[in-house]
Amino acid sequence: MGKEAANLAFKVADRIHDYRESTAIRAGNQPVIVPFVGYGTTRWVRVLGRALYKTMLFSHLTESLVGDQRATSPARGWRSFTSVPISHALVEVRIGGRVFTVRADRGGVLDAQLEIELEPGDHEVRMRTGASEEVVSSVYVAPEDQRIGIVCDVDDTVMVTALPRPMLAAWNSFVISEHARMPTPGMAVLMERLLRAHPHAPVMYLSTGAWNVAPALRRFLSRNAYPDGTLLLTDWGPTRTRWFRSGAAHKVNSLRRLVREFPDVRWILIGDDGQRDPDIYNGFALRYPDRVAAIIIRNLSVGESVLASGRVWGDDRAKQVAAGSLWMEANDGATLSDKLRETDLL
């Protein structure tokens, strides 16, 4: 019954999407690309973006939704969910003097791995679809000898959100102004120090948030002095077998992909104990003990833990981390930085 209901919900959502897209086309709405920062090696790059229709509401929020970091007008979260994706859009991608044509998915998300030889460092990426204006993004190419990478959770790790309690999740995602979101004390400094110690490390912000919030999240990170990096987000909504997509599965699969893509890199995994990060990172360390440099867990306060998950972690929580990996916990970034100074990672 659960799977049948989920499949029905998926079909209804699919019909609604078709209706909204056909309405946008009849209204003459123009396509636009929302670019995201990608990453890669000297042999390939992963480019990311999203194809949308520029609806009337969208036209008043171009800076906010396309991701201009200079945008200063506070946008409510719900506005990012009013855009209409372009299903299976053909997107022209220009990088390193070459031109690629790639296809977005059903939700308009462009996620393509392109075979190309590039020097280490940042490279400009230009994208367009149909008659859309060309937009500019970038990819970071890690050096071949890079051995450290950074993966950082978002909710309750870099920003205080008190997720996933349903009402608070809805409030944070759809109602609250992005300028009202609070950074987690000391975490930006921790990230900056890590990147100073490992200046060529690829940085990934791994979250269960939807691609809709990527521009606002990018601006939040920039406004609060977090290092630039790639956002690894996901889709919301029902699938043919589930009412809600699995956030934990998204994180697990993303980490597995990074292992395949960077077989010689050891990862510094940063998260919090309000949701599943300790379990996910612990499982990753047990499967890939030689791919973990450290596991850094921000401990939520008792109040934050209750808001985030309705429970309080006990001090006897199992930490069965694979031999050789480092596990450290603290309530704020400053204390975590002090603990990292006792290692060779900072």
Whether 61 shows a pLDDT value over 50: the answer reads no
Tens-place pLDDT, residues 223-246: 999 999 999 998 765 545 444 556
Q: Under a CB-based contact definition with an 8 Å cutoff, are residues 235 and 211 in contact?
A: yes
**Reported pTM:** 0.85
CA–CA distance, 276 with 283 (Å, rounded to integer): 11
- pLDDT score at 182: 84
CB environment 7-18: b (16+ within 10 A), e (fewer): eebbeeeeeebe
What domains lie within the chain, and their CATH numbers?
2-141 (2.60.40.10), 148-340 (3.40.50.1000)
Whether 312 shows a pLDDT value over 50: the answer reads no
Token pair 């060309």 is found at 134
- The 3-state DSSP composition of the chain as helix, strand, coil percent (nearest 5) reads 35, 30, 35
- pLDDT score at 325: 56
Could you tell me if residue 11 is left (phi over 0), alpha (psi between -120 and 50 degrees) or otherwise beta?
A: alpha
Give residues with Cβ within 8 angstroms of 268, minimum separation 6. Answer: 148, 149, 150, 151, 194, 201, 293, 294, 296, 345
- pLDDT score at 29: 85
Whether 71 shows a pLDDT value over 90: the answer reads no
CA–CA distance, 140 with 119 (Å, rounded to integer): 10
* Among 35, 67, 33, CA closest to 220: 67
Tens-place pLDDT, residues 180-201: 678 999 999 999 999 999 999 9
Indicate the helix (H) or strand (E) that contains 205.
Answer: strand 203-210
